[in-house]
Amino acid sequence: MKKIRIVAIMTAVLMSVSGCNLFLEMPEVTGSVYLEDVFSNRKDTEGMLWRAYHRGLREGLPEGWAINHGTLASLSGEITRGYSWHAGYNLVVNGPTTVLDASGQFQGAPADFNENWEVIRACWIIIANIDKCPELSDEMKEYMKGEAYALIAYRYVGMFQRWGGVPIVRQANEMTDDIAFPRASAQKTLDFALEMINEAETRLPDTWTDIEPGCGDKWEGRITKGAVLAMKARLLTFAARPLFNAEQSYAKEFGMAYSADSLIWLEGYDKERYKKAIDAHLAVIEWGKAHGKHLIFTAGEGNRNTFEQAIDDYGRGVSELNGPETLLAFKIESDQQVYNNMTEGYNWSAYVDAGERSLRGVLTNFVRLYRDKDGGEIDWPVVGEAAPRDISDFAANIDKIEPRFRVDICVPGKYGRSNDGDAKWNEGIWYMGSLTSDAAIAASMSRAIEGRSIGVPTKFYYKAGARRWFEFPLFRLAEAYMSLAECYNEYGDAANALKYLNIIRNRAGLPSVAETDQAKLRELIVRERALEFFEENQRYYDVKHWKHPDIGTKILGGPMTEISFLTTDGANTMAALISYWDAYSYTGYWHPKWFLEPFRQDEVNKGIIAQNPGY
Amino acid sequence: MKKHFIITVAAGLLASLAGYSQDLANFTDALEGKYPGLTVIRNDGTPGAGVPRMMIRGIGSFAQGTDVNTLKIFVDGFEVQQDFISYLSPEEIESVVVCKNAADLAEYGMNGANGVLAITTKRGTVGAPVITFKTRGGVQMPINVAKPLNSRRYAALYNQAWSNDHGREWDPYYDFEAMNAYKAGEGIDVNWYDEVFKPLTNYADGSLSIRGGSNTALYSVVLDYANQQGFLNVRNTDRTKNVSFVKYGIRTNLDMKLNDIFTVSVDVGGRLEDRNRPNYSVYQLVNDVMSYPSNIYPIFDADATDPISNYSGTAVHPNNPVGSLSGLGWTTSRTKLMQANFKFKEDLGSLVKGLYLLQGFSFYSRTIGNTAKTRTYARYNQGVPQTADISTYIRSNGYWSSGKENWMQGNVTVGWDSEFGLHTLRTKLDARISDFSGSGSAFYNWKYRYANFVARADWAYDSRFDATLALSVFGSDAYAPGKSFVPYPTVGFGWNLSNEEFLKSSPVVNKLRLRASAGFTGATEAYVGIEGFETNGRYLYEQYYTWTGSFVQGMGPNFGGGASGIRPLFMSHPDVTAEKSLKADIGVEAILWNLLTVKADYFADYRTGILTPDNTLMDYNGAQVAYTNLGKMFNHGVDAQFVVAKKSGEVDWSVFGNVLFAKNKVIEMGEVGAKYPYNAVTGLPYGTRMGLENTGFYKVTDFDLDGELNMGLPVPLYGAIQPGDLKYKDQDGDSFIDDTDIVKVGNPSYPSLTLSLGGEVKYKGFDLSFLITGSAGSTVNLMDYDEWKPFLNYGNAFEWAEGAWVYYPEAKLDTRETATFPRLSTGQNDNNYHASSFWVKDNAWLRLQEVELGYTIPLNTKAIKNFRVCVTGYNLLTLSTLLAKYKMDPETANYGYPASKAVNLGLQISF
């Protein structure tokens, strides 16, 4: 009897304890999403990837990274520095810092290192879990893994350009993992990025058109094998360029004390790095030929476009949505539709009702790079001239300037060629150019209105009509041609260098060049690349990785100047314009430490990663 | 013998100290100064809104910050929210026990780390019914009144600020004519404070209690009512309401002895609370009053032709304070609270001597419903509407709820008491489950479940030695399956020296007891919030994902072609568990000369595993935040109480005092980024104020002729400076003043020392009692208050700004030698308004919290047992530099709705 009682009591106790476990193991958390939920259906699995796309591709764009409102074009001497609250405004004159600002934001450098990692983590989670999703075909799962690898690779390519060697993260680390590891060397970072690219390349499709029955071109715009090939080619180009590919690190070269050179340099010069880049770019062009991606070039290789052909080809090349020249584009976040930083804020759309866009004139420093349509130099005003020049001089210059200028920049009086006949892209643009009606200002030759200069960019909006948004081209085939010209020249093959350079020149309506001196040809390539990729976030990296000798005096650093106009009644018509002149605007910052960007100090203070030299 | 089992409970000795004379409506406020170890810091005096901050033995953990109540509250053995006890009637209360020692908290497990307030309600007693009726009524007055400057003084300062901001050339914004007009009383000059507040308001309450019972049934019934009106200068009408609080409470406690085995208790305590206010947040209204200058506009716009109303208003100052008071209608909210407890006891002594069973169930519920009558008004300036608002007539709004909470708890106990020889042994096993669910307004924070299994044995020998051994195995749903349960053991010892032979006959020492205990408890809460994921430290083991904006990835048009994005929230951690507290204490209790009762404790509390954001988590792991149990803190101190009570002849008097000193230190909080040791907050008391060290004002001679700071002076990196700005010490000598120059500049916001002194004298029917409370060791940072940032955001100026540094000889302004405030500016001044020693002020205070004079009228009737009248003053005297110099109540410590003092007349009749 007693035994039965004891057994009964023990049973009751055990039952209550196990019951209690059940009682405690049901967290009721409304509105929450678990890993199992995410990968239980196609829509949410894709949602995870879309988020990674959005966050991963927006680097360098005014979408909330450290650059905030502001563009790399402002930092690289292409356009003016914008409004005082734009991150670039102070950066461009004071240089980068490593600390958070008063509001807790990090705007001390053009990019926030920390921003990369959410994307990479999300991609690893996708790679590890996508096989659980029952609503995706096995083929689609492989494609999506490929996209995730490609996004990881894209972040590593971006980080390699900005910081050199960074930590190598091979999974979505958990708190129970060993999660404190230092930066890898630049070489290891390069190798890892290539490894990720290869993982992506083996999985991704060549085209998303009809990838699933009936889907048509619904998925056009996702990462393809071609986009990853272009990524690889860009990565290898940066690996070959002088910043990393040199006899000594830039820290040594410029006398900055630094003990971890392998983080910022590939530990020696190797000419063959150019060869690898050449092969990668050729592969991009070859792939393009097989899959409908090509340079838009009406006259065809070996011929020179007419002025009008050049306007149309170049305009379409940089503006056409999912056009034949675009390998990958950043597609605007649709929940904000047109009203986001990319368009309404400080950015690319000059479309009639400018928001924060009015202080984005093209610096005269950059305007001087354009040639006339037959390849000759143009005589622009310079600071220090005795008096403003008559407006007829301006009209003559614009009439003879090359086609790309006319597509990319809308100027008072002459307007632009991006949308012929559409007032909203021409005379209707507000705040076009630094105009003043005050003759005293003109007489003193000081600038009337800072930031508007000669005119506003209209690039990416060729024949856009009422479309105010655009898709920023991240990889455009023209890059392969320009990089081939550069790499062949550095590799010592002037003939091939000229071949690819002249394709771009001829497409732009310019005559071929035949310069074979490596140094002179290099400068021709540098200049051509600036014009072809105006506002495409290339120049900021290019001039640093070239260690261009003028970087501190004319390109990023040094005095920046802007054109101003005297006009009647503030009007921007040719009839109202009287004269124009060039005037000093600000002095850009440069210090060799800015070859690479800083890590945030609060991250460095954790004692695990080393800061880049000079910060 | 039985007493020994509660003696380890330090608080048990003198539970019924000074009765529960109650300060106005709020019961928790009345706990202030009455219990050693308990600190009560009152909140502002808004009727019905004052939930005080309560701490037991200071701050033991930084997990919830300095402003959140972390102690747990139990009423009749079941846990309740603080809202429930805030407005209990003192008539309901039998005792309040502050559980603070390891031994007191032995059974509380994860509920115990921050202490427990255990409240017991009154029950019936065997005998004829005792009926007591009490009522009070009186007036209340504000303690702290800080009025902004009038237009003339405001404009005079604005002229300085304007000139300072515009090249330091004397350039008055208000010209000579405007200033003269203000002087002559002709310009606009509205005293918003006096328009909105009245200096006096009224209070009334009453209660009726009936107690009695027989051997088989005991009953206790309490009815109570209170009505507290606010200081707003508006009448209670169909269109307008003063801020007010009205409560109706009822409690019925019944005990029924069914037979020799079964006893049943049924307790039902419920309350209705009505809160009225104008249809505008009182907090915001006070804010407006403090920030709207006197000269912005007259109350009414004479040029407006609106038939409904003609309040002034502008886009910058849209909320005319008088309009907010009278022009928007009113809202009322009703809170319904109930705790119903059912308890059963089975005395199984007939089976096994000393064996018994207990079962208890508790249902707690709180709901809030609201209604309103609202209107709005157009804002005019010189006849022109300034905003899109249009004047409307008043209309009735529907009903809406703003929350509900349900709490169900149950426990089962098996106990066995026995005595053999000189030994006494009490043992019990207890199982308890609790299920709380809230309104769901914070998604991740609305359901709490726990289970607590307790085994406990108390042993005593010969009235001399005793010991306690207890184990709580506490499980919470906050942690990963398998990690829910944590064991919390406790041991305690007691030695009654006064029962030893050598002291038994001492004429001095009537009682002397030493005791010590040590044990573990836990805490589950932590402030953890990220992007709406208000987990309160819960479910951190689970990886959650969140929806984000969508993104277009395909060919389709950008409009509507997007898909939603998903991404992981914080980084989960499977091992997250409850914060752990190891408490130890040694105490002494003594009665000497049959006059003086003393008890004192030294306590220490070592916390580990405080849930802390892991700041060392490298960002390259891709998660914004991860919380881990890495925090550590140490808190120790003493608390003590003395009571002297004596009856000599017809004079019956007593005096008591309480003191608590507690000091903590952060040992580990994952701090990263301190460049120098003196920048670090680790190693200092939690919440220590950090800032720059002020070294006076910049002098005119600190600048060169171009206004540039002289070479050699450290350059502050908080924006441009000029003479009269605050100057700081360059701690690291790097020639820059920046955040690496931050040092400790003051104590935390909570006190380290809490004191009270009370007493009572009775003589021939008269009685006089008092209670003085005080605290020290806390500070305020004046930069927490916009009242100290003149003109900021089109704001106001107060009298302290008149001490500003100014030097305009042409305007005969020169305070270079006498300034008490930095030079004025019209906007934000990052240099001057940076946290610094200049703005951190010590807050030590003493207050005559209560003084009461009563007279019991002798009546020659048996029908009336007691008839007493009294007059009571609350908070009549406050000694505080904060109040005297900065016009802040030292407890409330803000410029919001004022704290109040009061005088009441009371009447008390027992039948």
pLDDT digits (tens, 9 = 90+) for B711-765: 889 989 888 899 999 999 999 888 889 888 999 999 999 999 999 999 999 999 9
CB contact under 8 A, B555 and A47: no
Tell me B111's DSSP state: G
Distance CA A12, CA A5 (A): 10
Residue located via tokens 């003395």 = B642
β partners of residue A79: A362
Q: Is B769 left (phi over 0), alpha (psi -120 to 50) or beta?
A: beta
What tokens appear for A473 in the block?
């081209």
Residues of B in contact with A25 (CB under 8 A): 477, 481, 484
Helices (H), A345-390: 364-367
* Of residues B264, B156, B100, the one with CA closest to residue B600: B100
- Cα B21 to the center of its chain, rounded Å: 20
| B613 close to A (CB below 8 A) | no
What confidence tens digit (pLDDT) does each residue in A561-613 have?
999 999 998 889 999 999 999 999 999 999 999 999 999 888 888 889 999 99
Report the distance separating Cα B83 and Cα B909, nearest Å.
30
User: Cα separation of A136 and B130, whole Å?
Assistant: 77
Which sign does the torsion angle of CA A112, A114, A119, A123 carry? positive
Interchain proximity A24–B573, CB inside 8 Å: no
The pair of structure tokens assigned to B607 is 């916390």
- Higher-confidence position of B663 and B25: B663
Pairing assessment for the beta strands B627-648 and B596-613 based on DSSP bridges? antiparallel
CB A311 within 8 A of CB A318: no
Cβ pair A179:B446 closer than 8 A: no
Q: Tell me whether B617 touches chain A (CB under 8 Å).
A: yes
Provide the pLDDT for residue A475.
97
Nearest CA in chain B to A223: B553
- From residue B409, alpha-carbon distances to A22, B241, B339, B638 in Å are 16, 39, 11, 35
In chain A, residues with a C-beta closer than 8 Å to the C-beta of B626 are 175
**The pLDDT value given to residue B714:** 92
As a whole number, mean pLDDT of residues A201-207 equals 96
Percent share of chain A, pLDDT over 90: 62
Q: What is the DSSP letter of A413?
A: T
Indicate the helix (H) or strand (E) that contains B74.
strand B72-75
Closest in B433, B561, B574 to A23, CB measured: B433
| Contact: A44, B572; criterion CB under 8 Å | no
Residue B677 contacts A, CB cutoff 8 Å: no
Task: With CA atoms as reference, report the closest residue to A257 among A599, A606, A610.
Answer: A610
Q: How many CB pairs under 8 A join A and B?
A: 211
Residue corresponding to tokens 């930066």: A183
Which H/E stretch holds residue B132?
strand B127-142
Which of B402, B431, B397 has the alpha carbon at shortest distance from B414?
B431
Quote the minimal CA–CA distance from B482 to chain A in Å.
Answer: 8
Comparing CB atoms, the residue among A43, A121, A219 nearest residue B622 is A121
Which one is predicted more confidently, A118 or A491?
Answer: A491
Mean pLDDT of chain A: 89
Which range is least confidently modeled, A57-71, A245-259, B415-429? A57-71
Of B10-24, B76-90, B96-110, B652-666, minimum mean pLDDT range: B10-24
Q: What integer is the mean pLDDT of B304-322?
A: 93
Residues 6+ apart with CB under 8 A from A140: A211, A212
> A124 to chain B: which residues are within 8 Å by CB?
622
| B527-547 residue pLDDT tens | 665 665 666 778 888 888 877
**Number of other CB atoms surrounding residue B127 within 10 Å:** 11
Q: B2 pLDDT exceeds 50?
A: no
- Closest residue, chain A, to B623 (C-alpha): A118
Give the pLDDT band (50/70/90) at residue B116.
Answer: very high
Contact residues on chain B for A135, CB-CB shorter than 8 A: none
Residue to mutate among A115, A140, A331, A601, with most B CBs inside 10 A, is A331
Residue A9, pLDDT score: 61
**What residues in A contact B443, CB-CB < 8 Å?**
29-32
Lowest mean pLDDT, pick from A359-363, A510-514, A553-557, B399-403? B399-403
Nearest to B551 among A50, A167, A469 (CB): A50
3-state secondary structure of A53: helix
Mean pLDDT along residues A35-46: 88
From residue B886, give the alpha-carbon distance in Å to each of A127, B231, B790, B801, B841.
61, 21, 14, 11, 10
pLDDT of residue A102: 62
Q: Cβ distance A434 to A453 under 8 Å?
A: yes
Nearest to A47 among B564, B573, B618 (CB): B564
C-alpha B565/C-alpha B17 separation (Å) is 62
The band of B431, judged by pLDDT with boundaries at 50, 70 and 90, is very high
CB contact under 8 Å between A34 and B544, yes or no, is yes
Burial of B160 from C-beta contacts in 10 A (0-12 / 13-18 / 19+): buried
Q: What is the pLDDT of residues B543-587, one digit of tens each?
A: 888 777 666 666 554 433 455 677 777 788 888 999 999 999 999
Pairing of strands B736-737, B715-716: parallel
Alpha helices in A368-435 (DSSP H): 391-400, 403-408
Distance CA B164, CA B806 (A): 9
**B-chain residues within 8 Å CB-CB of A169?**
620-622
CB A79, CB A360: distance < 8 Å: yes
How close is the nearest chain A Cα to the Cα of B736, in Å? 15
User: Are A47 and B563 within 8 A, CB to CB?
Assistant: yes
**pLDDT above 90: percentage of residues in chain B:** 69
pLDDT confidence of B17, banded at 50, 70, 90? very low
* Residue ranges of B 838-857 with Cβ closer than 8 A to chain A: none
Structure tokens at B801: 């700004």
> In angstroms, what CA-CA distances link A436 with A412, A450, A578, B336, B425?
12, 11, 10, 69, 99
Find where tokens 């909140």 sit: B43
The pLDDT-based confidence of B312 (bands split at 50, 70, 90) is very high
* Residue of chain B whose alpha carbon sits nearest to that of A600: B619
CB-nearest to A176 from B475, B574, B621 is B574
Residue among B545, B547, B739 with most chain A CBs within 10 A, to mutate = B545
Q: Which residue of B has its CA nearest to A24?
A: B477
Query: Among B163, B155, B26, which Cα is nearest to B88's?
Result: B26
CB spacing of A219 vs B553 below 8 angstroms? yes
* Tokens found for residue B705: 């002729």
The CA distance from A313 to the nearest CA of chain B, in Å, is: 21
Tally of CB atoms within 10 A around B829: 24
Distance from CA of A124 to the nearest CA of B (A): 10
Q: Is the pLDDT of residue A403 over 90?
A: yes
pLDDT of residue A322: 87
pLDDT exceeds cutoff 90 at B447: no
pLDDT-wise least confident of A36-40, B506-510, B555-559: B555-559
Mutate to test the interface with B, among A2, A16, A17, A24 (most CBs of B within 10 A): A24
Is pLDDT above 70 for A31?
no
Number of C-alpha atoms within 13 angstroms, CB side, residue B713?
Answer: 16
Interface test with A, best of B528, B567, B614, B741 (most A CBs within 10 A): B567
Out of A26, A601, A608, the one facing B618 most closely (by C-beta) is: A608
**How would residue B6 be classed by pLDDT, with cut points 50, 70 and 90?**
very low
Interface with A, mutate which of B110, B411, B437, B553 (most A CBs under 10 A): B553
Is there a contact between A478 and A310 (Cβ–Cβ < 8 Å)? no
pLDDT value, residue A469:
77
pLDDT at B129: 93
Residue A228's H or E segment, with its range, is helix A225-240
Using the predicted structure, report yes or no on whether residue B647 has a pLDDT greater than 90: no
Please give the pLDDT value at position A177: 84
Greatest mean pLDDT range, A418-432, B103-117, B437-451: B103-117
Partner A contacted by B538 (CB < 8 A): yes
Q: Rounded to the nearest 5 degrees, what angle is found at the Cα of B210, between the Cα atoms of B209 and B212?
A: 145
Identify the three-state secondary structure at position B394. coil
**Gap between the terminal Cα atoms of chain A:** 82
For chain B positions 417-436, those within 8 Å of chain A (CB to CB) are 431, 433, 435
Interface contact B398, partner A, CB < 8 A: no
Confidence of residue A481 (pLDDT cuts 50, 70, 90): very high
pLDDT band with cut points at 50, 70 and 90 for residue A242? very high
The pLDDT, as a whole number, for residue B13 is: 35
CA gap B24, B19 in Å, rounded: 15
Greater confidence (B104 vs B43) lies with B104
Rounded to an integer, the average pLDDT of A67-96 is 83
pLDDT at B120 over 90: yes
> pLDDT band at B846, cuts 50/70/90?
very high
Work out the average pLDDT over B216-228: 95
CA A308/CA B585 separation, integer angstroms: 91
Answer whether residue A20 shows pLDDT above 70.
no
Asked if A175 lies within 8 A of B626 by C-beta distance, the reply is: yes
Query: Is the CB of A335 less than 8 angstroms away from the CB of B550?
Result: yes
Q: Kindly tell me if the per-residue pLDDT of B405 is higher than 60.
A: yes
Nearest to A335 among B446, B546, B549 (CB): B549
pLDDT bracket for residue A14 (50, 70, 90): low
Closest to B309 (Cα-Cα) out of B327, B297, B296, B324: B327
Q: B601: which 2 tokens? A: 């404790």
CB contact, 8 Å: B783 with chain A? no
Say what the pLDDT of residue B3 is: 36
CA distance A479 to chain B (A): 22
Does the CB of B450 have a partner CB in chain A at under 8 Å? yes
Cα distance from B890 to chain A (closest Cα, Å)?
Answer: 31
Nearest CA in chain A to B573: A175
